[in-house]
Amino acid sequence: MTVPTSKKDIMIVNMGPHHPSMHGVLRLIVTLDGEDVIDCEPIVGYLHRGMEKIAENQTIIQYLPYVTRWDYLATMFTEAITVNGPEQLGNIQVPKRASYIRVIMLELSRIASHLLWLGPFMADIGAQTPFFYIFRERELIYDLFEAATGMRMMHNYFRIGGVAADLPYGWIDKCLDFCDYFLIGLTEYQKLITRNPIFLERVENVGIIGGEEALNWGLSGPMLRASGIEWDLRKVDHYECYDEFDWEVQWQKEGDSLARYLIRIGEMAESIKIIQQALEGIPGGPYENLEIRRFNRKKYPEWNDFEYRFISKKPSPAFELSKQELYVRAEAPKGELGIFLIGDQSVFPWRWKIRPPGFINLQILPQLVKKMKLADIMTILGSIDIIMGEVDR
């Protein structure tokens, strides 16, 4: 940390890890000269739970309930990436219906995540009302999740080769009703916030990142697209069945906090477009590829020289990971969520490395807040959209 030697009235302040505007257990050591920020050092690791090592000692199915704890506001994405890796390693085909269901769930999860970014972000910069409003729509999304998966936040819904259960009777109609209702709510948010002079004063030209700078820092998601780079993994990697729908990548040129706000608002509208098309065109057929339930296993496979038959609790059907390495990624609400996976001809991954978008995006914070005012730290940190569960893992 660089502290200037000439100044006598320098003050070093701890922000966090229990400050409500830190959005989790993030600690910032801020060096101030009056109201001006001279330096800022983020301290992370308070929520480290060894998620990667846990993955290397569990089968994929056993590990699935854990993954929703990385980014606990966009839980479907962590599940999707966890099953996409083994699917690509084993070249497993996902039925068309399952792929459509996955897209619907992912986009609903994207909206829920952006809503719970919008409310606290507005509260951070002094607008309390949207914080209460966003819970209306978010609760409706969680009602839909509960009807389909049985759980509101931690779903354990995705499976290798499909999803755990088909959509219940009447769910599609309920979801279509939600889409119509949400578009009205979104218009309300835009009326309330977008042209508000106090809001614009706080976010315009605050935390500007240029396109080349964003690429050099490895930023992704709304952070990258706000800097004029049209990069969305749903268009780039053509995963699931996103190519079958008509939607636009949201991007802005300004690179400031306002641009990042506009992108997330636009993405919610695009997600509704994708969901509506998926609900109207959802095909029949199976929701899971049952072929992968057939395993060519020895009668008594050995695990660390200890035979399975002596273990009282039999594990769930295990999927063997072939001996190769793979990087798989998805466009999560916060950016590129990736996993580097090495198989070892065993039911456990030999290496499981998570690439969380929040952790990479947070790197640029010290540079953005230097020479800004203390109050701008809240605006800039809020516009980055971090979740400490995935930053610390």
pLDDT computed for residue 61 by the predictor: 85
d(Cα 161, Cα 367) in Å, to the nearest integer? 43
How many helices (DSSP H) and strands (DSSP E) are in the chain? 15, 10
CB 41 within 8 A of CB 29: yes
d(Cα 296, Cα 336) in Å, to the nearest integer? 35
| Maximum alpha-carbon separation in the chain | 74
Q: Is it the case that residue 4 has pLDDT exceeding 70? A: no
pLDDT computed for residue 296 by the predictor: 45
Q: Is 142 helix (H, G, I), strand (E, B) or coil?
A: helix
- Assess if residue 165 is contained within a domain: yes
Structure tokens at 234: 């749903």
For residue range 341-368, what is the model confidence (pLDDT) as tens digits? 998 888 888 999 999 999 999 999 999 9
pLDDT computed for residue 15 by the predictor: 87
d(Cα 105, Cα 343) in Å, to the nearest integer? 28
- Assess if residue 88 is contained within a domain: yes
Reported pTM: 0.89
Residue range 368-373: mean pLDDT, rounded: 89
162 strand-pairing partners: 159, 288
For residue range 232-286, what is the model confidence (pLDDT) as tens digits? 899 999 888 899 999 999 999 988 999 999 999 999 999 999 999 999 999 988 8
CA nearest to 59, candidates 354, 352, 347, 353: 347
Q: Please give the residue range of the domain that contains residue 78.
A: 51-319
Task: Decide: residue 310, CB within 10 A, 0-12 exposed, 13-18 middle, 19+ buried.
Answer: exposed
Residue range 51-80: mean pLDDT, rounded: 90
pLDDT computed for residue 3 by the predictor: 56
Structure tokens at 369: 């807040």
SS3 letters for 299-341?
CCCEECCEEHHHCCCCCCCCCCECCCEEEEEEEECCEEEEEEE
CB 102 within 8 A of CB 240: yes
pLDDT computed for residue 263 by the predictor: 94
Helix H or strand E encompassing 117:
helix 96-124
Q: Is 56 helix (H, G, I), strand (E, B) or coil?
A: coil
Choose the weakest-confidence range: 3-7, 11-15, 249-253, 379-383: 3-7
Which phi and psi (to 5°) does residue 261 adopt?
-65, -50
- Assess if residue 243 is contained within a domain: yes
CATH number for the domain harbouring residue 131: 1.10.645.10
- Assess if residue 136 is contained within a domain: yes
List Cα–Cα distances, 163 to 245, 287, 327, in angstroms: 21, 6, 22
- Assess if residue 33 is contained within a domain: no
pLDDT computed for residue 16 by the predictor: 77
Q: Is it the case that residue 334 has pLDDT exceeding 60? A: yes
d(Cα 148, Cα 137) in Å, to the nearest integer? 17
pLDDT computed for residue 301 by the predictor: 53
Give the pLDDT band of residue 322 (cuts 50, 70, 90).
confident
**Higher local confidence (pLDDT), 314 or 188:** 188
pLDDT computed for residue 316 by the predictor: 55
Residue range 141-154: mean pLDDT, rounded: 92
CB atoms within 10 A of CB 6: 5
- Assess if residue 315 is contained within a domain: yes
- Contact partners, residue 272, CB within 8 Å, separation at least 6: 107, 111, 179, 182, 183, 186
pLDDT computed for residue 336 by the predictor: 93
Mean of all residue pLDDT scores within the chain: 87
d(Cα 155, Cα 135) in Å, to the nearest integer? 19
- Assess if residue 64 is contained within a domain: yes
> How many domains does the chain contain in total?
1
- Assess if residue 42 is contained within a domain: no
> Interhelix angle for 171-193 vs 257-281, to 10°?
160
Percent residues over pLDDT 70 in the chain: 91
DSSP state of 318: P
CB atoms within 10 A of CB 52: 15
CA nearest to 110, candidates 294, 334, 385: 334
pLDDT computed for residue 298 by the predictor: 45
**Higher local confidence (pLDDT), 289 or 360:** 360
For residue range 8-62, what is the model confidence (pLDDT) as tens digits? 678 999 987 887 778 888 899 999 988 889 999 999 988 898 999 999 998 888 8
